Structure 1
Amino acid sequence: MMLTETEGFRWNFLPGFNFRRNPRRQAGVNTTTNNTTTTTTDGHDSPSEQIPQTVIVTFEQMLEVKRLCEAGQLLIQREECLFGDIREEEEEEALTHHEEEVKKLATDRRALEDLVLQTLRLSLSLGEVSLEVLTSAVKAVKQEDDQDQLWTQRDWTTPAWRPSGWKKLHDSKLCNLVEERMDMDNPLTPPADQVDQSTIQADIHSMGRRLKEDLLFVVDVVKSCYPPQLDICNLYGRLYHQTLSARLRKIADFGLEDKDCTFLLRWVNEYYPQILQKPELASEIDVEALGKLLPEQLLKPLEDQYLNKQQEELMKYIGHVLEEAKQKWNNGEEPTREEGCFVSHVAYDIIQLINGMVTSAEKVVGDLHKAQNLTSELEDLMQRFKIFQNDVIKQNKPNSQPIIKANLGCFEQFRDVLEKKSHLFKKDVQKNCLDVLADMEQSAHTYLLKPVHEALKPQYRKLGTSDWLNKPLFEKLLVSIENELQGLQGSIVSSHQVGGIKAIKHTL
């Protein structure tokens, strides 16, 4: 490796020492031991009497100004001179002769290694290390790695420090750095703006914030200090992923309250993917290669805990809605009217809750199929709704008809969500609930049309005689049907129309 002399400086490998060179060494290595070099001013050699005094740039001086790559080049040159292509019969003599120089080189290498690792430790602290120094440290690591590779191709006596493994040291140092930074902001108690969070939630939130900020800094700043082949963004991505995963595993093993369980699942399946999907990061980090933050054997118990709790809450709330409707009926209350129609909020309240909880559960567990389990007991609740309606019809209280009319609107709302938002339900649950609705709707129409048919029975009998073709009689029947159907007013328009059609079909 040849080093250049620039701007009045020259490299000084071992000041005051003349290297013993083997004649078979490769050409091109500067072996001059003069203490001065000739400089130029206008492209021509200056007269000897005008030669300015030159500055000897030593290894120590390079370390002092943190020109780490150049310092490493000096050491590699010294290594080449001490451990070059020495003949076997000269090997013992050469090594003995240069024993002190080898020890000095080993000492200098340790000094350089320490400074390089110290610089890497400050990689994510822009105020404590300049980009130039970090770039120089990275180059020093790269050239050491290249030198390791070069020595694997030689038959010469290998220095004790080869392979140096600086690339592994680099990765290990960055791993330690990431672990330290993930601990930096972890609070013993939640900060003032997160007083509603538990200590576990505040800890996870803090680590997530640190991960996002540091990865963005790597992409925006640190990346410029590394050659593309080192793929530094993916390296940091893996390190942060592994560190966060290890921390969350410990938390998951701890045994969590429902609130903390939900928060942890949401971080794993929603918030963390959102961070990595930021355009700045997604273009630099192979997200798919990272995999899940937690393994399936840890996720499943957490998911079961969350889904069981959510299902319990959903069924409890739906049961409360049905019980409230039943209580109003028992108290003789009529449903409210909107635009002249009786309305019930049973379906609306239940649908809103189902939609919200299943949609939220899909984000929390990261799987729609698992989230659909929340509605697995919906058929049983629809059966309870059916039993309630049967009681309303059977007892036929003064407020029974208004309630059944209001229920017709519920059936339409339930059917609409079961058919148009089928993703909220498993197929068997959807089908069974639609069947229950069909039965309830049929019972409601039969109940509401019963008075109509009883009032029209006398005229139905006349249709069985020869007078059935009598136009006035037929017109009278139609008028009677229309008058009787006025009793269906108060149900939603579509149900009113269906009831009228059924009455006419029954007549014909």
Structure 2
Amino acid sequence: MLKTMTLQGFTGQQPAPGALDLPRSPQKLPFTSEAESEASMSEASSEDLVPPLEADEAPDRDEEEAAKKKKKKSKGLANMFSVFTKGRKKKSQPSSAETEGDSESQSGPAGRLPTVEELKADLEHGRLEAAGPLLALERELQAATAAGGMNEEELLRRQSKVEALYVLLRDQVLGLLRRPLEVAPERLRQALAVLAEQEREDRAAAAAGPRPSALAATRPRRWLQLWRRGVAQAAEERLGQRPAAAAEGRTEAERAFLHMGRTMKEDLEAVVERLKPLFPAEFAVVAAYAESYHEHFAAQLADLAQFELSERDTYVLLVWVQNLYPNDIINSPKLAGELQGVRLGSLLSPKQIRLLEATFLSNQVASVKELMARALELESQRWTQDVAPQRLDGRCHSELAIDVIQIISQGQAKAESITLDLGARMKHMLLVELAAFLKSYQRAFDEFLERSKQLRNYRANVIANINNCLSFRMFVDQKCQTPQDLPSPLLSPLDELKSHGVDTLLQSLFGVLKPLFKRFTRTRWAAPAQTLEEIISVVGERLPEFSELQDCFREELMEVVHLHLVKEYIVRLSKRRLVLKTAEQQQQLAGHILADAELIQRFCTQNGSPATWLHRALPTLAEIIRLQDPSAIKIEVATYATWYPDLSKGHLSAILAIKGNLSNSEFRGIRSILDIHTGAREPSKSLFSLIKVG
């Protein structure tokens, strides 16, 4: 199972201090302008918002006095509400109007609604308790409208006052929710309660449907929507901040990803731990923040993906989109349960991801190919410059296999760090490249074998490269789940490289043995034991030259030596220079062959030859030469042909020529037994196909 890269592990940096450190200079929300609020509230007196009880209780006034008072009050309200446009004074230095409003708010008679001045003073002092009386004023106004008896101009003037106060209330509530972590919990709960109440009023108004009224439609006010918009703006500001200076060598894109990822994770954890317990469940505060952060993160990455990215940035972008973001952020221990029902999706579209993956795979394969070619070039230079290979545990050692395997493994691991599926696709592509590399390696090694024989470290470098085949073979075995067409292209160059190397190492030895084997025919097999003992002695003296091979290749080399001894022995028997006409002579030769076969087998086995398949080659030939009954000889030949399917009639004829007492018909009858076995099966290993007769 893939080990997902953690955000901390990927960045190698300490987490940024604090979380959800929302900006202290927030952008202005698209609320009603304050100038509009002042204009609407300065048109009429504050008594316009008090329930119309004075219609029955107030004494009659003449028109001149009423106009005079109205003008005076209008002027006073205009001065009072000038704070909407001129800015509010510091709370530590309240104005005389604020003091008066505060006094009136606190000392107003019980059972009556506050005046405009009182509500404004309360709201300017942050007293969210004013939300209740304000809502009552709104309902009184609606009731007055329904009852009739008030002209349209008066109704609209009163409504403008209510809406102006709602602007104040809205700014107070959303201002607190703009930086919720800086607000005391009780204060935050109060603001949330007001917001929830307004949301309920919006729903009630929507359920009631539109009704004919002289008043302008003011609901739904959609404060919850404005709050969510504010969350989105806060997310944009948080993620859009300039990332701190990072470790040297990190690209600008990496720094941006790191900043956004870390900020989003820490901020969402703060939302879960500190805000979720305070917010009403219907607000879905975690989802609101998560969706806003996700949307901005995705927008930034989508913009970046439109450009032609460097190889490194392409990889980093895919790691964030496919691994770090879903695993280290969305499914992190603190957030996984909270975000389970939030459908955030991927940071990039499937099409963008496919294009980036194709680019990444192409880049990575090209990089791996280049690195392997460079490694082979450096290795070839060491051969031609006659640099001695390293010795490791008494074996000649080359770093080429280790370097190439590391290049392949790192390329695949890089893809797997994005997704397992991408890792599987990369694995197949890299094994194809490895097969091509091994073919190039084999060609370069063959060229070295032909052109550099005079170099002092020639044999040591040959041994080192044969030893390389073990590391490559083990690596290929670990990738046994590859498609069926890959193992052969991978293993064939290694087998050929090893075979050519072993043949080169044994070439001088076999050259020394050749004249010794010729003695068998020159002496007409007079003293075969002495000749073979000398051959075995020469081989034994040369074996230490191969001690720096890996054990498995030393065994394979001994199998080649074993095969050579048996093959050359059979070659000398097949020269048709020895014809024995009596049974006694044939039995004597058979005895010599059996003794020589035992000597060859014992020597080769003791020195590590695994070639048990050669054990029957000489003893059975000795039995064919010893037997005199044609039927018994046929049985032995038939059995022999099952062990060595490459035995031909020509080879059999050369052996039977030793038996000078066979008639022509007996000779032909014994040879015909091979007709039954011709093409029965292919030999797993060659023996007689290596022997020329004629």
TM range (shorter): 0.7 to 0.9
Distance 1:94 1:482 in 2: 127
Equivalent position of 1:137 in the other structure: 191
Equivalent position of 1:420 in the other structure: 478
Greater mean deviation of Cα atoms: 383-392 or 98-107: 98-107
- Provide the aligned length of Structure 1 versus Structure 2: 453
User: How far 1:437 sits from its partner (Å)?
Assistant: 2.0
Out of 490, 500, 505, the position equivalent to 2:558 is 500
Distance 1:93 1:459 in 2: 137
Greater mean deviation of Cα atoms: 349-358 or 272-281: 272-281
* Conservation of the 8 A alpha-carbon contact between 1:310 and 1:374: no
Out of 95, 101, 109, the position equivalent to 1:35 is 109
The one-letter amino acid of 1:407's match is N
Distance 2:424 2:405 in 1: 18
The one-letter amino acid of 1:402's match is A
Distance 1:427 1:234 in 2: 49
Equivalent position of 1:381 in the other structure: 437
User: Does the alignment pair 1:112 with 2:112?
Assistant: no
Distance 2:282 2:50 in 1: 39
Distance 1:153 1:393, change over 3 A: same
Distance 1:395 1:149, change over 3 A: same
Out of 387, 391, 408, the position equivalent to 1:333 is 387
Equivalent position of 1:312 in the other structure: 366
Equivalent position of 2:635 in the other structure: none
What SS class does the counterpart of residue 225 from structure 1 fall into? coil
* Conservation of the 8 A alpha-carbon contact between 1:67 and 1:133: no
Out of 212, 219, 222, the position equivalent to 2:265 is 212
After TM superposition, the score normalised by the length of structure 2 is: 0.57
Equivalent position of 1:489 in the other structure: 547
- Deviation string for 1:15-70 (max 9, x for gaps)? 852689xxxxxxxxxxxxx9337xxxxxxxxxxxxxxxxxxx964465345454x4
Out of 388, 398, 404, the position equivalent to 1:350 is 404
Distance 1:488 1:242, change over 3 A: same
Distance 1:112 1:439, change over 3 A: same
User: How far 1:348 sits from its partner (Å)?
Assistant: 0.7
User: Does the alignment pair 1:229 with 2:282?
Assistant: yes
User: How far 1:333 sits from its partner (Å)?
Assistant: 2.9
* Conservation of the 8 A alpha-carbon contact between 2:517 and 2:531: no
User: Does the alignment pair 1:442 with 2:512?
Assistant: no
* Conservation of the 8 A alpha-carbon contact between 2:520 and 2:528: no
User: How far 1:385 sits from its partner (Å)?
Assistant: 0.2
The one-letter amino acid of 1:335's match is P
The one-letter amino acid of 2:461's match is I
Out of 117, 123, 133, the position equivalent to 1:63 is 123
Equivalent position of 1:394 in the other structure: 450
Out of 397, 420, 423, the position equivalent to 1:368 is 423
Distance 2:518 2:492 in 1: 35
What SS class does the counterpart of residue 153 from structure 1 fall into? helix
* Conservation of the 8 A alpha-carbon contact between 1:376 and 1:426: no
Out of 175, 178, 190, the position equivalent to 1:121 is 178
What SS class does the counterpart of residue 334 from structure 2 fall into? helix
Structure with the greater alpha carbon radius of gyration: 2
The one-letter amino acid of 2:478's match is K
Distance 1:364 1:237 in 2: 23
Distance 1:472 1:79, change over 3 A: farther
Distance 2:544 2:526 in 1: 24
Distance 1:204 1:155 in 2: 48
Distance 1:15 1:103 in 2: 10
Greater mean deviation of Cα atoms: 491-500 or 133-142: 133-142
Distance 2:551 2:151 in 1: 104
The one-letter amino acid of 1:435's match is S
Equivalent position of 1:248 in the other structure: 301
What SS class does the counterpart of residue 224 from structure 2 fall into? helix
Distance 1:251 1:478, change over 3 A: same
* Conservation of the 8 A alpha-carbon contact between 1:311 and 1:375: no
User: How far 1:283 sits from its partner (Å)?
Assistant: 2.6
The one-letter amino acid of 1:416's match is M
Equivalent position of 1:52 in the other structure: none
Distance 1:131 1:463 in 2: 107
User: How far 1:267 sits from its partner (Å)?
Assistant: 3.5
User: How far 1:456 sits from its partner (Å)?
Assistant: 4.6
Equivalent position of 2:649 in the other structure: none
Distance 1:241 1:374, change over 3 A: farther
The one-letter amino acid of 1:246's match is A
User: How far 1:495 sits from its partner (Å)?
Assistant: 1.0
User: How far 1:100 sits from its partner (Å)?
Assistant: 4.5
Equivalent position of 1:411 in the other structure: 469
Moved runs in structure 1, 4+ residues, more than 6 A? 458-477
Equivalent position of 1:168 in the other structure: 225
Equivalent position of 1:28 in the other structure: none
What SS class does the counterpart of residue 417 from structure 2 fall into? helix
Out of 158, 177, 180, the position equivalent to 2:234 is 177
Distance 1:466 1:224 in 2: 106
After TM superposition, the score normalised by the length of structure 1 is: 0.75
Equivalent position of 1:23 in the other structure: none
The one-letter amino acid of 2:333's match is P
Distance 1:469 1:117 in 2: 113
Q: Percent identity?
A: 24
